[in-house]
């Protein structure tokens, strides 16, 4: 019988470009196992990064049958990049498992929750239109504005304060009105397992952004889709893409102090996986919070590159709801152990996960709006216009 690494990936040939990446995990002593939020919450060997990559590999090279028990581990991943930080090879488990999902969907083996996301994508992504109709953003929006804002479907669907404040704060920070992007970043298609439609959605988005000076993205997951996952799939955006925290950090001098506006007690920053490990943005939100609070924000014990996932990414709340809930509860317990208070994040899915576990959470954009209002309130009153001013 041929050695496993001599066997072609005949059943899932789409994974052939990822064969070396899969084999790095398959033949590895699992150095990253302690980093995975999924196998930490549900301690099963199959759910470690090694287990998920091995299952995809052995299905692909026909060592095991094409069956739910071997296919579904590919969806047991939040896409948090945590394993990569602990891997001597920087192995791309996240991208490879997303590719495996797509190959498995093509082969007809996917969890029902993922299939439902694919069936309902057009309907769920139409939520972006809701934010444009929200009267709270009406005075900040102009369809012809040079700066575009992509709020994110999760914010738009729920009509969150964070989504509304993202639009209003970007308009204030850029000194004009903003155009709202009503095309989804396509991340749900990537996570559910339709790579071809993910690319199509990226191309549609690129077309919608043509001619803009830049696009500011509110949700960390959408920002990673535009800056990491679409370029990896060969789609580049026609305008620079920045996360909201990067814009706010550049304009940090315009922020006032939000004394007491977030309540008493600690104000703790949670590094969203897609913003931190995904985009390498760690300093910008801390600069913004330091200015708004007048002191450095409180921190989780595990933070920055070692920050812990909320459990809300990669469709895990749909494919493994109990495990996702367990991970969110662990993070809120970490927060409580460190002194509780308010969590600030820039990921709409993480916010929802923490709120479900009983934590008080605000989006970074809400802190920035309050800090802009505080700066306005403390500005010296303008002198009354003189006759000469009026001429």
Binding interface with ligand SF4 (CB under 6 A): 24-25, 28, 30-32, 35-38, 49-50, 52, 77-83, 87, 89, 91, 93-94
How big is the CA angle at 242 (ends 351 and 214), to the nearest 5 degrees?
130
In the complex, least distance from residue 78 CB atom to ligand SF4, rounded to whole angstroms: 4
Give whichever of 161 and 305 is closer to ligand SF4, judged by the CB atom: 305
Q: Which is nearer to ligand SF4, 52 or 270 (CB)?
A: 52
Q: Which is nearer to ligand SF4, 31 or 252 (CB)?
A: 31
How many whole angstroms separate alpha carbon 196 and alpha carbon 28? 31
DSSP readout, 88-145? TT---HHHHHHHHHHHHHHTT---HHHHHHHHTHHHHHTTHHHHHT-GGGGGGB-TT-
Measured from the CB atom, the residue of 316 and 372 that comes closer to ligand SF4 is 316
What's the chain's length in residues? 391
In this complex, which beta carbon is closest to ligand SF4, that of residue 25 or of residue 233?
Answer: 25
φ, ψ of residue 345 to 5 degrees: the values are -140, 175
Structure-token pair, residue 379: 């500005």
The pairing of strands 360-363 and 342-345 is parallel
Integer CA distances (angstroms), 130 to 144, 150, 325, 352, in order: 18, 13, 27, 19
Instruction: Please say which residue, 29 or 385, places its beta carbon nearer to ligand SF4.
Output: 29
For residue 360, list its beta bridge partners. Answer: 342
Angle (CA) 190 196 201, round 5°: 70
Q: Which is nearer to ligand SF4, 94 or 319 (CB)?
A: 94
Cβ nearer to ligand SF4, comparing 263 with 280: 280
Q: How far is the CB of 153 from ligand SF4 (least distance, A)?
A: 21
Minimum CB separation of residue 76 from ligand SF4 in Å reads 8
SS3 148: strand
Rounded least distance, CB 40 to ligand SF4, Å: 9
Q: 335, 351 in Cβ contact below 8 A?
A: no
**Least distance to ligand SF4, CB of residue 113, Å:** 16
Q: How far is the CB of 104 from ligand SF4 (least distance, A)?
A: 16
Please, are residues 81 and 278 in contact by the beta-carbon 8 Å criterion?
A: yes
At its nearest, how many Å lie between ligand SF4 and the CB of residue 316? 8
Q: Tell the smallest beta-carbon distance from residue 365 to ligand SF4 (Å).
A: 26
Cβ atoms of 121 and 197 closer than 8 Å: yes
3-state secondary structure of 154: helix
């Amino acid at each position: 019988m041929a050695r496993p690494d001599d066997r072609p990936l005949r059943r899932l040939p789409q994974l052939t470009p990822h064969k070396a990446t899969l084999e790095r995990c398959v033949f590895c002593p699992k150095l990253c196992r302690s980093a995975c939020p999924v196998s930490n919450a549900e301690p099963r060997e199959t759910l470690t990064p090694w287990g998920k990559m091995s299952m995809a590999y052995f299905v692909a090279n026909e060592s095991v049958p094409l069956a739910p028990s071997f296919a579904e581990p590919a969806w047991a991943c939040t896409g948090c990049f945590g394993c990569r930080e602990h891997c001597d090879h920087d192995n791309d488990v996240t991208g490879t498992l997303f590719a495996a999902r797509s190959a498995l969907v093509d082969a007809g083996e996917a969890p029902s929750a993922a299939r439902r996301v694919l069936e309902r994508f057009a309907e769920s992504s139409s939520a972006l239109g809701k934010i444009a109709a929200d009267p709270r953003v009406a005075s900040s929006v102009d369809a012809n504005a040079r700066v575009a804002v992509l709020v994110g479907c999760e914010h738009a669907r729920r009509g969150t304060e964070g989504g509304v404040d993202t639009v209003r704060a970007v308009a204030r920070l850029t000194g004009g009105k903003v155009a709202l992007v009503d095309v989804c970043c396509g991340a749900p298609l990537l996570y559910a397992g339709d790579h071809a439609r993910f690319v199509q959605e990226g191309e549609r988005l690129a077309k919608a952004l043509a001619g803009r000076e830049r696009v500011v993205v509110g949700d960390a997951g959408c920002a990673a889709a535009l800056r990491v996952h679409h370029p990896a799939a060969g789609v580049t955006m026609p305008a620079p893409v920045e996360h909201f925290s990067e814009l706010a950090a550049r304009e940090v001098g315009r922020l006032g102090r939000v004394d007491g506006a977030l309540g008493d007690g600690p104000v703790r920053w949670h590094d969203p996986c897609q913003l931190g490990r995904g985009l390498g943005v760690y300093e910008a939100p801390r600069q913004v919070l330091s200015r708004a609070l007048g002191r450095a924000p409180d921190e989780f014990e595990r933070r920055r590159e070692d920050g812990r996932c909320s459990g809300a990414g990669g469709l895990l709340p749909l494919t493994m709801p109990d495990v996702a809930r367990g991970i969110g509860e662990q993070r809120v317990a970490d927060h409580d152990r460190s002194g509780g208070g308010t969590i600030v994040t820039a990921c709409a899915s993480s916010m929802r996960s923490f709120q479900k576990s009983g934590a008080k959470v605000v989006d970074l954009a809400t802190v920035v709006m309050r800090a802009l209002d505080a700066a306005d309130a403390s500005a010296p009153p303008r002198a009354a216009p003189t006759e000469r001013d009026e001429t």
